[in-house]
Amino acid sequence: MDSIIEIVFAFALVASLFSNFFGVPGNLLIAVDSFIYGLITNYSEYSFTFVLTLFAIFLLVEFLEYLLIVVSARKYGASKWGITGSIIGGIGGAISGAFVTPVLGAIIGSIIGVFAGATILEFIKSYNLKKSLLSGVGAFIGKIGGLSIKICGAVTMVIMIGYKIL
């Protein structure tokens, strides 16, 4: 029975890790999976404090992802409208891209959505195409960096869990 639980938990961790590419908060899923595994095993493998640490990592990584998008977009001249557009566009792009091709479509859709959302809303506000395109480029660069941070956080969390369990 214990090996079945461990196999299911390992599968859930890997699925959660890759769900980051779908625009789903995979790091949150990793922390929740660990919490549930801890409950099932009465925290025999790791402590509740360890699970709280995973939740803290999740919050930090999410904060850093959005901060990087905002800072990068701002550096390239985006206003609040452009930043709002990048967030809305990223979410919408990930969802619509996932319908086209589950993994690759979600990644590409999210990245294109961030660029398009920032560019469109910035253009609506300023009617300046050059400024709008630069805002989109800044949001795009921030999204790439943010996704990198998110994946590094997920891999770190999975390694920490693997170290505790193995």
Q: Which residues contact 56 (CB under 8 A, 6 or more apart)?
A: none
pLDDT at 65: 85
pLDDT at 22: 66
According to DSSP, residue 21 is labeled G
Task: pLDDT tens for the chain, 166 residues: list them.
Answer: 567 878 888 888 888 887 776 666 788 888 888 898 888 888 888 888 998 999 999 999 989 988 888 888 888 888 888 888 888 888 888 788 777 776 677 778 888 888 998 899 889 888 888 888 888 888 889 888 888 898 898 889 888 888 888 7
CA distances from 55 to 27, 48, 62, 107, 157 (A): 8, 11, 11, 24, 10
pTM of the model: 0.78
